[in-house]
Structure formats: structure tokens, C-alpha cells
Amino acid sequence: MTTAPKRTDLPEWQALAAQARALRRVHLRELFRRDPARGERYTAEAAGLFLDYSKNLVTDEILTGLFALARACGLAGARAAMFRGDRINVTENRPVLHVALRNRAQTPIRVDGKDVMPEVNAVLGRMSAFAQRIRSGTWRGHTGKPIRAVVNLGIGGSDLGPAMACEALNPYAQRDLAVRFVSNVDAAHFVEQTRDLDPAETLFIVASKTFATQETMTNAATARAWCLRALRAEAAVARHFAAVSANAPAVAQFGIDPANMFEFWDWVGGRYSLCSAVGLPLMIVIGPENFTALLDGFHLMDRHFAEAPLERNLPAILGLLGIWYNNFWGAETYAILPYDQALRRFPAYLQQADMESNGKQTDKEGRRVTWQTGPVIWGAPGTNGQHAFYQLMHQGTKLIPADFIGFCRTHQALGDHHVKLMANCFAQTEALAFGKTAAEVAAEGVPAALIPFRVFEGNRPTNTILAEQLTPATLGALIALYEHKIFTQGAIWNVFSFDQWGVQLGKVLADKVLTELQSLAEPALAHDSSTNALIRRFRQARQPIL
Ligand code: G6Q
């Protein structure tokens, strides 16, 4: 291990800390007054996304300082190493190449000297042929009926991406094909999602990189039994099950026809896998052409991240602004607020992408970090959030930076719904930034005693991301924007963003307890007194296993 300087010892870091102290006395109202063109100057655009970052607590000097920090932390070198296919996932000794999955330019990307693009294209081609057969009804189930429902069985990275994107791209869906997602090991999830489905018309996609995850394997076994109970022939499995995995032997052992297995590779992280075969349910639902448009959007943002100077680079700007609040203003959380019902699941998707990537306590040198790393990511669509948690954002005591995401055009042009939606989006960022002073409240005729309760301090920072319409390409660009924002932040915090030992821990922890819960004889428990007592209590009241 080398001994790179601690991030907090960098002169660029210390300069920013001093600038943050100085800026605390300046209000956004003042920053906008000083520079009337601020709202036009602090903007950037790429891959169909327009970013307005003017409502942030920054000045030209601070932005210069943030870009200098990115340079001092070697962001450009780290970025080049990822695109080149270096083994930057050091703790798992793997490259990180989700960018290869959507490398529409087809430039060779080599892993151990071998270009991965032919394999990537081959799997995309097989997915596309399979998707067409399901969509056109030429793929028949065991009894000869066409498929009407696709059920994805997967969890975490093998669930959140396609589940989010299927909802986001609903307007592009083939509406006579239902798509469902079962992730939780809680049987209620499987039961409720399949309640109204006919096994003869249902296709299960078992999506698991490892093909060993407890939840997914349990749901897959239940699905198999559900299917066979109705169709009464082992041969039905081949017509009603497909697999998405990096583990071919385990797929074969489960009984899924290798012809229905769609491969991905260990250099694709689960939370970065939407463009791999993990996107199969999405491709079936929106069609290969729209899926390709999604990949095109991802690729445009990838190129922008790789090539644009930091000062105009959307992911770098978003990442650095996040660092500014996380590390220099003490913000602990970050809100994602899409003004689009179809992006309902986008905050949850980013929660995984961001928190699993940068929720790390050890720097690349193996030292305990002495600076804050990834924030808590949360959010909900507007306008719903306005009637719930925005109160705390406006008048609470915590600083919550937020991204507002909206679209100029809607797929559901119904009356004045969309203009009302976007009026709320713009009005909220304005109110968060500028607030309402005591004088303004008094001028409204509010009694003196009530004025303190009606004052809004403002100075709450937000970004606005505006695009023309939520198309497959726009969604691709939007996801890639956040992926590379996360990459930027990981490079600056000097953490490994592409492993997830905390998730691995969860995967093994439950096994021991499961044996104890299931054992017929009273088990000898050697946990702490709390865990022992909980296990005993559960055993006393538990149902027999059916
Ligand atoms: C993602 C994580 C995690 C993973 C799931 C499912 O980056 O590693 O969310 O995707 O645990 O894993 P499998 O695909 O192997 O079932």
C-alpha cells in the first residue's frame, strides 16, 4: 500500500474549508444580486440534460477550488483507468466495465488482452431475438399459449434497475404484456405478484449474478413449484424459465435450458447492471429498439463524462457540489426529487447505486477515513413530497441539498396537469433558495407574533435537471449522470466504490440463524442474550414449515 496524503491534508481541501467558513455569512439572495446572469452562467448541458446549478452556495472561487480538488485527487486518471478496463475494483480484483455494455462506438475494450465487445454484442443479440419472440407471441408456453406476463425474480442490483426503468418507460411498453418484480424472500411478495397470473402464460426470469442469493433462489424454487403444480411436466420449465447470470453451471443445475440463459460478467457490478442481460425484462417490455435507444443515451453521457472538461462536465459538477455540502457544510443527506410519477422508483434506485458504492469507511490505502464519505440518499416524487417532508427542508434545522428533476413535455398530456406539476417544481427551488424575510411576511399583514413562524430563511441549495421528455435515451443519460457522479465522489473520497462487503455480510449472517430457527431439537444458542432470546421467542410461536 502506498501512502497517498490524506484527503483532508491536501491544500485544496483546506482552502475549501476556509472558503466554506467565509461563505456562511452570504445568502443566495446576495449571490444572485451580485451577478444578475448567475442563473444563465451556472448551467451545463449534455446528452439532452440541462443542469442549472446556480441555486447552490458557491461562487466562481469556490467552483475553481472544487475543480482543483478533483484534479489534486486524480479524477481524470481514475476515470481513464475505468474506461481502459484496469482492475480498479481492487478488493475483488476486477475491472469495472459497465461502460462496455453500452459502448455504442464499438471501440475495443480489453480485459486480460481480450476485447469484450464481441461478447457484449452477442448477448445483446440473443436478448433481442428472445424478446422479439415473447413480444410477437411466437414463443409459446408449455400448453401452446403465448406469454402474457413476465416475472423477474431477483433482488438488489438484479431487481432495482429493471423495476425502476420498466415503470419509468411505461409509455413505451407493450401493454398486453404484464411485467412483475418479485424480490423479497417474504412469500407475500411472490403470492401477491402472481395471484392473478396464469402459469401457462407466465415467463419467469431468474436474475442473479451469482445464482446463489438466498432470496432469489427461494423465490425461483417457489416459482418452479407454482408452475409445475399447474402444468404438471418437468419439460414446462424450459418454456417458462429463463436465467440471467454470470454462473452458468448453477443455472444448468437448476434445470434452466442453457439456450435460455443470458450471460453477464464479473466486471459488471450488480447495481451497475441495467444495460447487461439484467435489463432483459425491460427489453421484453419496451422492445429491443427502445432498449438500444436507452443504451445510446447511456453512451452519450459516458462520452461526455470521459471527454468534457471538468468545468462543463455534468457528473463532475454534480459530484463536486455534493462533496461541498457533505464535507464542508456538514450535510448528512441528499434528496432526489423527480417531478415525474414514472420516476417514482428513481430515488430508491439511486439509494442503492450511491449508498452501496460510497458507503465506505476505509480509504484505498487501507486507513480508516477521517472525512465523511457517502451521504444518506432519499427522496420521493414531487409534488407528493411537498405535502409531507418538504416542511423540514424549508423550515427545519438541517441542510438538505436536493436535485429537482423535471421534463418540459409529458407522455400524458392531459389538461393542465403537467404545467401545474412543473410550476410546483420551479416554485419550490425558488422558495428554498430565496425564502421569505420577516419584512416580506409583515408586508402581507401577518400579525407580529406570528411572523417568526412564517419566515423562511431560504439559502437551501438545489440543482435542477431539466430535459425535454422522459424517453429511453433521456433515462439512459440520467442514470449514467448519477453513476459517474458517484464515481467522481468515490475518487475524491479515495474509497473503492465498486465492492460491497456489507451486502456480502448480510448474505452469510442469516444462514446460521436460519439453521437455529428450523432445527427440530432445541438448539444450543451462543449469540448475545438479546439475539438468543429473540430466537427462542420466535421458535415458541412459529408456524410449522409447509
Ligand atoms: C449490487 C449488490 C447487490 C446484488 C444482490 C443480488 O451491486 O452486489 O445488490 O446485486 O445482492 O445479487 P445476485 O445478482 O448475485 O443475486
Q: Which helix (H) or strand (E) holds 394?
A: helix 390-395
What is the C-alpha to C-alpha distance for residues 517 and 539, in angstroms, rounded to an integer? Answer: 6
pLDDT tens, residue by residue, 101-118 = 999 999 999 999 999 999
Task: Name the nearest CA neighbour of 334 among 344, 347, 345.
Answer: 347
Residues catalogued as catalytic: 356, 387, 507
pLDDT-above-70 percentage for the chain: 99
pLDDT band (50, 70, 90) for residue 509:
confident
From the CB of residue 5, how many other CB atoms can be counted at a distance below 10 Å? 12
pLDDT band (50, 70, 90) for residue 186:
very high
Task: Name the nearest CA neighbour of 98 among 90, 111, 47, 345.
Answer: 111
Say yes or no to pLDDT of 545 above 80. no
State the distance from the centre of ligand 1 to the C-alpha of 360, rounded, in angstroms: 17
> Which pLDDT value is given to residue 506?
83
> Which pLDDT value is given to residue 543?
83
pLDDT tens, residue by residue, 326-341 = 999 999 999 999 999 9
Task: Name the nearest CA neighbour of 425 among 390, 376, 475.
Answer: 390
Q: Which residue has the cell 414463443?
A: 139
- Residue 76's alpha-carbon distances to 13, 222, 392, 492, 522, in angstroms, are 18, 48, 37, 11, 58
Say yes or no to pLDDT of 73 above 70. yes
| Residue 245: alpha-carbon gap to chain centroid | 20
pLDDT band (50, 70, 90) for residue 281:
very high
Residue with the larger pLDDT of the pair 1 and 105: 105
pLDDT tens, residue by residue, 76-93 = 999 999 999 999 999 999
Name the phi and psi angles at 431, rounded to 5: -65, -40
Say yes or no to pLDDT of 449 above 50. yes
If one residue of 271, 350, 503 were mutated to test the ligand 1 pocket, choosing by the most ligand atoms within 8 A of its CB, it would be 503
pLDDT tens, residue by residue, 17-26 = 999 999 999 9
Tell me if 213 CB under 6 Å of ligand 1.
Answer: yes
Pairing of strands 43-46, 110-111: unpaired
Tell me if 260 CB under 6 Å of ligand 1.
Answer: no
Mean pLDDT of 473-488: 99
pLDDT tens, residue by residue, 384-430 = 999 999 999 999 999 999 999 999 999 999 999 999 999 999 999 99
Say yes or no to pLDDT of 271 above 70. yes
Q: Which residue has the cell 467565509?
A: 22
CB 174 within 8 A of CB 285: yes
Tell me if 76 CB under 6 Å of ligand 1.
Answer: no
Say yes or no to pLDDT of 325 above 80. yes
Say yes or no to pLDDT of 546 above 80. no
State the distance from the centre of ligand 1 to the C-alpha of 256, rounded, in angstroms: 20
H helical segments located in 409-471:
417-434, 438-443, 451-454
What is the C-alpha to C-alpha distance for residues 173 and 370, in angstroms, rounded to an integer? Answer: 47
> Which pLDDT value is given to residue 284?
98
- Record the cell numbers describing residue 21, joined without a space: 467558513
Tell me if 356 CB under 6 Å of ligand 1.
Answer: yes
Partners of 245 in the β-ladder = 263
Nearest atom in ligand 1 to the alpha carbon of residue 157 is 10
Say yes or no to pLDDT of 1 above 50. no
What is the C-alpha to C-alpha distance for residues 149 and 144, in angstroms, rounded to an integer? Answer: 15
Mean pLDDT of 492-498: 98
Tell me if 98 CB under 6 Å of ligand 1.
Answer: no
Residues in the chain: 546
What is the C-alpha to C-alpha distance for residues 322 and 488, in angstroms, rounded to an integer? Answer: 10
Tell me if 79 CB under 6 Å of ligand 1.
Answer: no
> Which pLDDT value is given to residue 180?
98
Radius of gyration of the chain (CA): 25
Q: Whose CA is nearest to atom 13 of ligand 1?
A: 208
- How does the average pLDDT of the chain come out, rounded? 97
